[in-house]
Amino acid sequence: MEPTTASPAVTNGANSIKSIPGSLSITRSLFVNWAALAALCLTAQAAQAGLEVCNNTSGTAAVAIGYKGDQGWTSEGWWNVSAGDCKTLVSGDLPLSHYYWRAEAASPGWDHANYMFCTQVNEFTIVGDENCADRGYRREGFNEIELAGRTDYTVTLAAGSKKGSNAEEKAPAAPVIAPVDEGIYAEDYLNGPDNGPGTYGEPYTISAAFQGCWASAEVQECEFHADGWRYVLSELGPTDPGIIDALNVFDIGTNLTLSGDMITYSGDRADITVRNVQPASAPAQAASGTSLDMAGLMSHLQGYWESDDGSGYGWAVDGNELREIYDANIMEHYFFELHPECAASDGRGPVLIGYPELDPSMGPACFLIVETGQRSLAIENVLDGIFISFTYSN
């Protein structure tokens, strides 16, 4: 993906310094392959004027930049930089005192500091660094480049034995989950010594919806969905098979708390190990304080729902996947989660938050579950106010 504008408009740089916020959200900067122990070298080289990125690794890297533009903080990407290649992202003498960058690759990854900008999966130019999620973007950390009077700079991406020299070690906060009496623990299944968190990648703790386990090409995999990401656990990985087998005690759609190591990620998929699994014990609540039966709602949603207006529009729900159908054609494919409410629902709930796969630039959709019956379903798209009623047709 190549941005159409290789040289973004910039302003003269007295106010181009970005401060680090006090809190860090869980974003893709979490998914760094520490098993590969990627390193970053930032050097000012005598090269052509401008901001240049050189990729000294064996794989393609996708790079984004941030800067203070005429309209405020701006982020732009992605430039694909092939292995062994260099690419100029900003041409000419650099007028600002500070720039910011982010690089991603399937493996290895690079650490990033907490200078936060908005990004998305496809190529982008985004003005503004606030309310990223509300605008359908991701909020991710970038590293800082301080020019100190220089007018050109080269960022060199290199594989080695150290983390990025300017990256700050600030781990995302783990979700707060009430203690539970039951769970699945690695020590109950491991036949050998437990080498502890960080053995196979960056340690993580997430809350995610269980999608189920199945055999794919004779390999058993289990999948969990959260924040538009598909977390995949494979029996070919280092997780003990006993844990994978034990996951079948959970119903599809159960909200679980997982901990383990993040091995690698690409696109919307992250490959993980799992050491501990626990069901989230605290029942979901709407703003009114009313408890919500999310597992029951998830079970009710399964199957095909046909719109009552005869338009040919329908929903096909399979686990945590929703396909919007129109005249037998798939309009969009969402990975979704059930929540007590969303930012746009004004405290109403429950809601279905869908992360689009076919057109990620749309950003997350929020559907208010208005009513459910034995064979009926009514929803409202809270972003555009459209109300739709369905009848179960399977």
Tens of pLDDT, residues 243-273: 887 787 777 777 888 888 888 887 778 899 8
User: For residues 157 and 112, what is the distance between their CA atoms, to the nearest angstrom?
Assistant: 13
Count of beta carbons in the 10 Å neighbourhood of residue 119: 24
Q: Would you say 117 and 129 are in contact if contact means Cβ atoms under 8 Å apart?
A: yes
Q: What is the pTM of this model?
A: 0.43
User: For residues 195 and 122, what is the distance between their CA atoms, to the nearest angstrom?
Assistant: 38
**What per-residue confidence (pLDDT) applies to 378?**
95
**What per-residue confidence (pLDDT) applies to 332?**
92
User: For residues 81 and 61, what is the distance between their CA atoms, to the nearest angstrom?
Assistant: 5
**What per-residue confidence (pLDDT) applies to 167?**
31
Which residues make up the CATH 2.40.128 domain(s) of the chain? 294-392
At residue 262, the 3 state secondary structure works out as: strand
What is the distance in angstroms between the CA of the first residue and the CA of the last residue of the chain?
Answer: 41
**What per-residue confidence (pLDDT) applies to 89?**
93
Q: Would you say 195 and 306 are in contact if contact means Cβ atoms under 8 Å apart?
A: no
Strands 50-55 and 152-159: parallel
**What per-residue confidence (pLDDT) applies to 49?**
66
Query: For residue 393, how many C-alpha atoms fall within 13 Å in the half-sphere facing its CB?
Result: 15
**What per-residue confidence (pLDDT) applies to 186?**
43
Fold entry, domain 294-392: Lipocalin (2.40.128)
**What per-residue confidence (pLDDT) applies to 179?**
28
* DSSP-derived secondary structure letter, 175: P
Low-confidence ranges of the chain (pLDDT < 50): 1-14, 20-47, 160-194, 282-283, 288-290
Which of 252, 277, 281, 265 is closest to 179 using CA atoms? 281
CATH class of 184-279: mainly beta
**What per-residue confidence (pLDDT) applies to 149?**
83
User: For residues 8 and 5, what is the distance between their CA atoms, to the nearest angstrom?
Assistant: 6
Helix spans in 268-308 (H) = 294-301
Which of 188, 172, 171, 173 is closest to 278 using CA atoms? 188
**What per-residue confidence (pLDDT) applies to 323?**
93
Which residues make up the CATH 2.40.50.140 domain(s) of the chain? 184-279
User: For residues 108 and 129, what is the distance between their CA atoms, to the nearest angstrom?
Assistant: 27
User: For residues 370 and 308, what is the distance between their CA atoms, to the nearest angstrom?
Assistant: 15
